[in-house]
Structure 1
């Protein structure tokens, strides 16, 4: 969304930049580190850190700051108020009960695929299927089946802007890290209308994803199934689960 310059509150933007500078790589930041990550001066970062701590969103030992549980209010409010997760949850649960596999609904946020809904467990293995596959998890779009499905929905010019200047980290030996190769894989996803990813985000984990479109044909999310153990071939996964995913996507279209 674009707004007029007089309507833009720079202080809020800087505060959010400081808050977003905390991630899995850096759980604790001081003013210097926060300034580097948020792209603001150290003095400004210090004021924002102190203000966020005063409001209860950060905790501190006097030098370093880290997120407090109060930050979860944002995600909780989204999950409680957004229609999309609530509309998809029954379908995810039904698919899991039917197949004993794990299903997720994902949206794109910048360079990350964000899990907004996840099936409950129905006899699946007790261990987590893959690292970080929890509700609200943010995964690199280039290395995930859902991420590439959502990227495939972009217009060519938009995809070019998304690819330009980004660094694609190698998570496993199978991860595509070159923009040219990633563009080729995205083009294949667009042609096939689904994406199969094998051990690209984590070794021993496979995933199959399809787009979730609304009644106007716009891709609003992606639906995937995650299988642990790399125990299936691509052909067997498609044969067993692709029709199931496409049927589910058609069933929920009117709800999106």
Structure 2
């Protein structure tokens, strides 16, 4: 926890406004930004204007949208963080071996973030690009990372949380998600089919460091028949688990 005297409220509010932009709302005016960031309209307007002045937003005078300058944050992270650099060679080898898309993903609140990926561009599903943020409850990687939490930590994460329906197959009932996460915790892998996006079938395993802490998840996006037993147990899981053991000393 940060001491109250060290907390810069204005910076926190500005970041809340910046984080209000997402795939659902690419353009915001002051009213919408205020609603999303939990601010008054006047405060949201000042933050929007300041962010536009600094170059992080573009505007036509009424509506605001993200500018390319915000990519400096993700670019700096990907260039300087040890985790993506450590995992990239393994992802490249997996993609070359299978011809399928592979990703390394971390948990950030109620979303997962793709920090490294490799695979044929033609197989890249919509929204599965580097830096993409996906709902944790509806993805195989998210469920693996949630299972990596202590049970009390997962209970706190789930409490009062709305689980949006993204497709007809999405798990949106908290008790059902709790059962799924407990199963993932026991079996140490997860398969999710068409819960986040129709046509997307994925299998994931946890990536642990030498202390046993789950720091990321490794997945493959593949065909429906590849995530069905016995192919899953005979081919897909051994490949992912071998890769997880290979990178463990690097994490």
Instruction: Write out per-residue CA displacement over residues 67-106 of structure 1, whole angstroms, 9 at most, x where no aligned residue.
Output: 0000000000000110000000000000111111110000
8 Å CA contact retained: 1:96, 1:119:
yes
1:41 is aligned to 40
Unaligned stretches of 5+ residues in structure 1 = none
Alignment of 1:72-87 (within 5 A): 72-87=71-86
1:234 is aligned to 228
Tell me the distance in 1 between the aligned counterparts of 2:39 and 2:199: 41
8 Å CA contact retained: 1:129, 1:227:
no
2:152 to 152, 157, 170: 157
Partner SS state of residue 184, structure 2: helix
CA distance 1:10–1:73, change in 2 (3 Å)? same
- Structure 1's consecutive aligned runs of 4 or more residues displaced over 2 angstroms after TM superposition are 126-129, 230-233
Taking structure 2 as the reference length, the TM-score comes to 0.97
Tell me the distance in 2 between the aligned counterparts of 1:247 and 1:110: 28
CA RMSD of aligned residues (A): 1.1
Instruction: Write out per-residue CA displacement over residues 191-244 of structure 1, whole angstroms, 9 at most, x where no aligned residue.
Output: 00000111111222211100000010000000000014x243521223211011
2:180 to 158, 172, 185: 185
8 Å CA contact retained: 2:13, 2:37:
yes
8 Å CA contact retained: 1:142, 1:168:
yes
Tell me the distance in 2 between the aligned counterparts of 1:238 and 1:203: 23
8 Å CA contact retained: 2:26, 2:66:
yes
Count of residues paired in the alignment: 250
Taking structure 1 as the reference length, the TM-score comes to 0.95
